[in-house]
Amino acid sequence: MGRKFFVGGNWKCNGTGEEVKKIVSTLNAGEVPSTDVVEVVVSPPFVFLPLVKNTLRPDFHVAAQNCWVKKGGAFTGEISAEMLVNLDIPWVILGHSERRLLLNESNEFVGDKVAYALSKGLKVIACVGETLEQRESGSTMEVVAAQTRAIADKVSNWANVVLAYEPVWAIGTGKVATPAQAQEVHSELRNWFQANTSPEVAATIRIIYGGSVSGANCKELAAKPDVDGFLVGGASLKPEFIDIIKSAEVKKNC
Ligand code: PGA
């Protein structure tokens, strides 16, 4: 199969300098599988990126939680892809549902952001996912396909993209998708890539799950064939993030 397990920690808008140092020291002391088995990326708020980058163990990498849609300039409050590249920040999370819903980022805007960030050499964790209403009305696949399509319209090389399937109803709610629910959407997304991009992209793109992932539920989810890792919010601020990283070992027995 050859898709390396990927675990992202999305710290969102949390932390003081002291708390950030504490999380980094917990991560640095954690015993985790080697980089052949798992790729780990943590995403602190912008202001802590240099601190985390400079103190984090070298086998873990950092991601920004957003960036501007094009070249920097007169865009007060924004951070450009060029700035992230300049600071050697390798990854960026784009299209998180909190930004889509709270800041009205449209599918097209997210597609433009992904394309621009990739063109500058950043690697992208692109997020898609349906709301509870959309799930209940049976439109989950239509919604995530439209979100993915808006990216595919602007991007042809998916090598530097990890797709995070994050059902909105599962984010921060403690209401995790069942392994079967996650597998169903991941496998349908992979079929979507097969039909709309190429068999190679479908076979190689990592599709990770996010939404109330914890130390307690990660192994069962990781055992599903199309779950290639996780994007973790709340639990990424806690020592159990190490257990979630270790769930990569489950793939060895699959
Ligand atoms: P959660 O958040 O793990 O706290 O549900 C996941 C995310 O929003 O990436």
Q: What is the pLDDT of residue 1?
A: 53
How far apart CA 74 and CA 93 sit, in angstroms, is: 22
Q: What is the pLDDT of residue 2?
A: 86
Q: What is the pLDDT of residue 196?
A: 98
What is the C-alpha separation between 243 and 254, in angstroms, rounded?
18
Q: How far is the CA of 212 from the centre of ligand 1 (A)?
A: 6
User: pTM value?
Assistant: 0.98
Side-chain-side CA neighbours of 136 within 13 Å: the count stands at 5
Distance 215 CA to ligand 1 centre (A): 13
Q: Which atom of ligand 1 is nearest to the CA of 235?
A: 3
Q: Which atom of ligand 1 is nearest to the CA of 8?
A: 9
Atom of ligand 1 nearest to the CA of 213: 3
Residue 237 DSSP SS3: helix
Ligand 1 pocket test target in 96, 169, 231 with most atoms within 8 Å of CB: 231
Per-position pLDDT tens, the chain of length 254? 589 999 999 999 999 999 999 999 999 999 999 999 999 999 999 999 999 999 999 999 999 999 999 999 999 999 999 999 999 999 999 999 999 999 999 999 999 999 999 999 999 999 999 999 999 999 999 999 999 999 999 999 999 999 999 999 999 999 999 999 999 999 999 999 999 999 999 999 999 999 999 999 999 999 999 999 999 999 999 999 999 999 999 998 67
Q: What is the reported pLDDT for 252?
A: 82
| DSSP labels, 126-153 | EEE---HHHHHTT-HHHHHHHHHHHHHT
How far, in Å, from the CA of 74 to the mean position of ligand 1?
32
Q: Which of 213, 218, 238 to mutate to test the pocket of ligand 1 (most atoms within 8 A of CB)?
A: 213
Distance from Cα 176 to the centre of ligand 1, integer Å: 10
